[in-house]
Chains A and B, each alone.
Chain A
């Protein structure tokens, strides 16, 4: 049973516009949520995180929003750049463990 779901396998956005990547989860015991970015032939790299006690976290062009009642989080990238083209994984941490549960990933393509 997939506890973390990314329902859009791909997203295509024009350079300069906003990219919105979505993630849904089912487990109420998740206490941290993270986004990782992965380029081909490289390992995932950490992008941004949010604690379950917050509803927004911002880092430059990247903002993560958490809606606990809907069990939904989203990553906003604005403005999108061609270098943002990658696969984005949503992940969640179970309270009091060091384990992460990953979503299936969304491939973002930013075109000029």
Chain B
């Protein structure tokens, strides 16, 4: 059974703090993703990684960075948290898509971050 875990379910931080959100998957997936979910906006991709030490910007990377030192772990970093980064953050992982089929993304439970 695929398991994607996120280090915190709820987090409260102050403006200007550096914030680390951790994600771990146990399925040996090459791909890992960070999304944020906001009302009326759906899920938006922040960053994704297709291999260790590899990363690509998603649709809304500004204000975020990521780190992938090990295959199973993908960290999202808010260098200097701001109130507009208050959101639900979701991590996902998957195998790479082949030409013949599409590989499901499996999601963690999410981290609800409040920046004061």
Q: Which residues of A contact B (CB under 8 A)?
A: 4, 6, 9, 31-32, 34, 36, 41-46, 49, 51, 89, 91, 93, 97-105
Q: Which residues of B contact A (CB under 8 A)?
A: 4, 9, 31, 35, 40-45, 48, 50, 58, 90, 92, 94, 96-97, 102-110
Judged by DSSP, the binding face of A is strand
Please tell me if the beta carbons of A102 and B42 are within 8 angstroms of each other in the complex.
yes
For B4, give its contact among A43, A51, A103 (CB under 8 Å): A43
For A43, give its contact among B41, B90, B96, B102 (CB under 8 Å): B90
Using A36-B107, A46-B105 as known contacts, list a sample of 5 further A-B pairs with CB atoms less than 8 Å apart, ordered by residue number in A: A34-B104, A43-B109, A49-B102, A99-B58, A102-B44
User: A-B pairs with CB below 8 Å: how many?
Assistant: 59
Residues of chain B within 8 A of A46, CB atoms compared: 104-106
For B110, give its contact among A6, A32, A43, A102 (CB under 8 Å): A43
